[in-house]
Structure formats: structure tokens, C-alpha cells
Amino acid sequence: MRVLYSLMWWLALPLVLGRLWWRGRREPGYRTHLGERLGFYGRRLDKRPTIMVHAVSVGETRAAEPLIEALLAARPDARILLTHMTPTGRATGKALFGKHGDRVVQSFLPYDTGFMVGRFLRHFEPAVCILMETEVWPNLIHGCARHGVPVALVNARLSEKSLRRGRKIGALMTDAARAITLVAAQTDADAERIASLGAAKVAVTGSIKFDVVPPQAALDTGAMLRARFADRPVLLCASTREGEEALILDAYKALDQRPANMLLVLVPRHPQRFDEVAHIVEERGLSLAHRSKLPEHVDTDVLLGDSMGEMFAYYAACDCAFIGGSLLPLGGQNLIEACALGRPVLVGEHTFNFLQATEEAVAAGAALRVSDAPALLRAAAGLLDDDGRRAAMGAHAQAFAARHRGATVRTVELLQQIIA
């Protein structure tokens, strides 16, 4: 099965590289460091122990921050090799960890063929391979086993949908799961699903995302945004996905009892969609301002959050937040950052990627679940018009986030058992 998987990778490689070049039209970062994606690298690193952490994109990279900081503190003799699959993830990693100099080096992870993975492992010689959340790459895991590199899957989550998909490819996934040295799962349900694939050592440590601390610079940016919003009631729609913005904007226009001077802030999940979302807003005759060209006073209907790495700032500047990817069956996004900043949270029906955290937030009074976009706007309007209710939900959100901290410490304790 793994041979067939590798063959499919080689056959697909021209299309994969073509798509990479095509995406580079909008995101030039996809056209940089191409050799790394194929297993070719520059000079070798010195002989310090190397702890590899794979964080595919922006969300995983930000989630890895407390873990990486803890590992750097626990192992002053070692460096972190931080790998990614997307240029936005790489840029986020540079912004977060550039202060550490050569103690954190970055690279794209090569495509998952035995040849490319082998070159990667021989070049960097990691002491351990730490994969974040859902990143199970069969040839990488097999290559690590061949080279005697222990593999840990941390902050691990696996939805029922992903479990069904994994079982469809049978031995490929179960062989990979059995070869993982250690799994640190977010929840009991995640642990049970991962163990059912064959992983031998599975522990429940909680979500590292609860340990992420808002940077002071982000809070300062949030205060600046809030000053430019003045006293307007602000609904933030964070990490929205394709199809959701149109639904939200139509509901916003149709809202009968809109709070006076309400501001809608839209922050699309993917930066390549900024122009598309701006066009959607303008098509509906709504006035639009851009974060990238922020006016002194934001007096438009909508502000487009066309910036990267500022989600904490947007949460700090809003009055309540909707978490995108949940109005349509896309699985939802992480609500923890909004809760940590004491913001009332709204989510749609589709939160299977973060199901337990979302259900617990709803049960704790930190979040409200809505059925569709009109219900979202009605719920947001109700919160924006009710200072007392909004403050109570915000307090519940902060308490919810505080109760779940500590996953980083538990995860590092487990990792120290396998890191040489």
C-alpha cells in the first residue's frame, strides 16, 4: 500500500508543482524555496541536537508557540527545526520565533516520497520528529522509523469524519499510526479514535492552544483599532471561508433591528481571498474600508481584515466574535483565542474539527451556537445591544479558557521521555 502511495505521489508531482506555481501568482511565497519541497537543502547545520516540529500552516504554527518556547527552555543545548507546507505558516513562524536567532531554523517539509524524506532526514538528522495536530505523513513516519527517529503526534485531534477517511485507506494509515512513538491527544474522544487506528501509546494532555498568550504588540494594535472604531458596536467574523461572507453580508443587510452604527469586521481565513471578499462586499452596495489602508476614523459598514498575523488584535478590538468555517460544513476554526480575551463567541452548526472545545464553551456560557447567517446576525445584534449579557459571556469565556490551561507542561513531560 505504501509503495502504491509513493507511486501516486511521483505520478502527481508534475501537477503538484504546477499547482504550486499557479498559486504563486497570488502568493509569491509558493515560488520560493522550491528545492526544499523536493528534498534539496543548503549547508548542513552544526551538530547540536535538533528537535523537529512540523506545523503545516498558520494555525498550527501559532498553536505550536507555547510548546516551542517550552522546549527551548527545557533543552538549552538544542535547536528547533520548524517545518511548514505553506508560505503563510513559514512567515508566521519567522514572526514568532525570529527573536531566537539560529536556535529556530525553518524549512518546508518535502513532499512525502521515500527519496525526498530520506534526503531530508539525512540532512537535518533530527533527534525527534514532532507532528502538530493532524499531520500524519506515512513515508515521513516510515523514514523516521528506519533512521531511528522517534515520532510524536502532539495536540492531536481526529474527527469522526477524518477517522472514516483514514479507515478507507486501510493499511497505509494503520501502519503509520502503529509507527508513531507517542500521541498526546487533545481530548478523550480524539485519543480513542487515534488508538483505534493502531497507535500504541496515547495520552490525553488537552489543547496547547489554551496556553497561547496574547502578545503585547497584538493587544496594542487592538487598542489602536478600537480607537479608530470609536464607540461603534463591533461584530468580528473571524477566519471566514468561501461561501460564508456572502451569507453573512446578506443577513447583515436584511437585519431589521441593526444596532446603531454597527461595524462588521470580516477577516477571511485565506489571504488569497482578500480581493474576492472585497468584491463581494462592494457588490452588495456596502461601504468598505481595508485594514491595510486603515483610515483615521472607520465610518464604513464593513472593515476588511486584509492583514496577516493580527487575529489577536482583531479579537481585542471587537465586542463579540463569530468563528468562521462553521456556517457551512467545513468543520469550524479555533475559538480559544477569542475566549482567552474575554469575547462572547458565536459559532455555526458545523464545528466537528473542534467539537469538544466548542461544546464545552457553549455549556460554560462562553459561546452561542446559531443555525444560519440570519440567526448569527440576530444573536450578534442582541449581544451588542445588551452590555450586561455581553460582559457575563465574556467573563465565562475567560474562565473557560483559564480552566483548560496546562497542556504544554503535560506534553513536554511526555516528550522528554523520548527526546535523546
Residue recorded with cell 490551561:
405
Does residue 310 have an active-site annotation? no
Catalytic residue among 36, 60, 244, 337: 60
Burial class (CB in 10 A: 0-12, 13-18, 19+), 271: middle
Residue recorded with cell 471587537:
318
Q: Which residues are catalytically annotated?
A: 60
